[in-house]
Amino acid sequence: MRNKRIAALLICILMIGTGLFGCTKTEPERIGIVSAMDNEVALLLQEAKIDRVDTFGGVDFHVGTLRGQPVVIMRSGIGKVLSASAMTAMLNRYSISEVIFTGIAGGVGDETQVLDQVIATRLVQHDYGTMTNDGFVWANGVTDEEAGEKDYYFCDPTLVDLAYNCAVEVIGKEHVFKGTIATGDQFVASEAYVKTLQMQFDAIACEMEGASIAAVCTQYQVPFVVIRCMSDKADGNAHDSVENMGDLAADNSSRIVMRMLDAMGQ
């Protein structure tokens, strides 16, 4: 009986390694395209040729081609936990050559306006730290004295340049910016906190998933870029602005992704 159990265990390990339990690592490499919400992937799914939909952990992974490129498109869900979980599942189950995170965000920089595009050069978790008797102290896993560039997640420079150039083609240079995006598990609708994000992190946009996606991709050594169209200014009017401009902003980001895929195929 013991030998049979050992044999069964070895077979299971072999099946996992060869993809017989749903892992599709034996497939050709694909570009991972990730968003948090339905409206952020709607245009992409409409334009894509989807061969199949795999569902793991409540997340649908749309496998097919978009603009001639092999892709896996997923909606992760909102926030750092769901986005990190879904990103991990994608990287474990598919051969992903690079990751493009697309969607909407709040404009933090004074220079950015609604419907402007921000291409992240680096990302940071603005809500990671310690709650003390004197209030919240940010520390991305280190002391204040040790904090520095290593506490940011850096996007792949080649993908950043590609995204920037394609965004300029789609919406015009005056509406495209590169810089730091700050991620946290809060929808920011506060002028005062916007100033904090500016001063502490030099952020020009804020959202709820980018740094968690970046953290997972960094651990897996998969190149990534995060692109965001501003749906609001993260101020007291943010909820109304997202309601009115969110879909248009999401489609703008999707058009830039498709232009990136076009350029990759040239």
Name the residue among 166, 140, 151 with its Cα closest to residue 264: 166
How far is residue 22's CA from residue 57's CA, in Å, rounded to a whole number?
12
Question: Catalytic: 161?
Answer: no
Instruction: Report the pLDDT value the prediction gives residue 121, as an integer from 0 to 100.
Output: 96
DSSP for residue 173: G
Q: Which of 98, 116, 232, 251 is catalytic?
A: 232
Q: Please give the span between the terminal C-alpha atoms of the chain, in angstroms, as a whole number.
A: 59
Beta bridge partners of 52: 63
Q: What is the phi/psi pair of residue 35, to 5°?
A: -140, 170
Rounded to 5 degrees, what angle do the CA atoms 158, 162, 167 make?
A: 150
How far is residue 254's CA from residue 20's CA, in Å, rounded to a whole number?
33
Instruction: Report the pLDDT value the prediction gives residue 62, as an integer from 0 to 100.
Output: 98
Task: Provide the b/e sequence for 99-113 (b: ≥16 CB within 10 Å).
Answer: bbbbbbbbbbbeebe
Name the residue among 160, 170, 173, 182 with its Cα closest to residue 254: 170
Reported as a single tens digit per residue, the pLDDT across 105-127 is: 988 988 888 889 999 999 999 98
Reported as a single tens digit per residue, the pLDDT across 202-253 is: 999 999 999 999 999 999 999 999 999 988 766 555 565 556 567 888 899 9
Which is it for strands 203-207 and 176-183: parallel, antiparallel or unpaired? parallel
Mutual angle of helices 238-264 and 157-171, in 10-degree steps: 110
The CA-atom distances, in angstroms, between 163 and each of 51, 78, 137, 195 are: 26, 23, 34, 27
pTM equals 0.84
Which is it for strands 96-107 and 203-207: parallel, antiparallel or unpaired? antiparallel
Domains and their CATH numbers in the chain: 28-264 (3.40.50.1580)
Low-confidence ranges of the chain (pLDDT < 70): 1-26, 139-150, 233-245
Cβ–Cβ < 8 Å for 45, 35: no
How far is residue 160's CA from residue 224's CA, in Å, rounded to a whole number?
9
> Is the dihedral angle over the CA atoms 229, 234, 236, 239 positive or is it negative?
positive
Give the chain's mean pLDDT.
85
Name the residue among 255, 80, 85 with its Cα closest to residue 184: 80
Question: Catalytic: 134?
Answer: no
How far is residue 186's CA from residue 207's CA, in Å, rounded to a whole number?
8
Q: Which of 40, 116, 209, 251 is catalytic?
A: 40
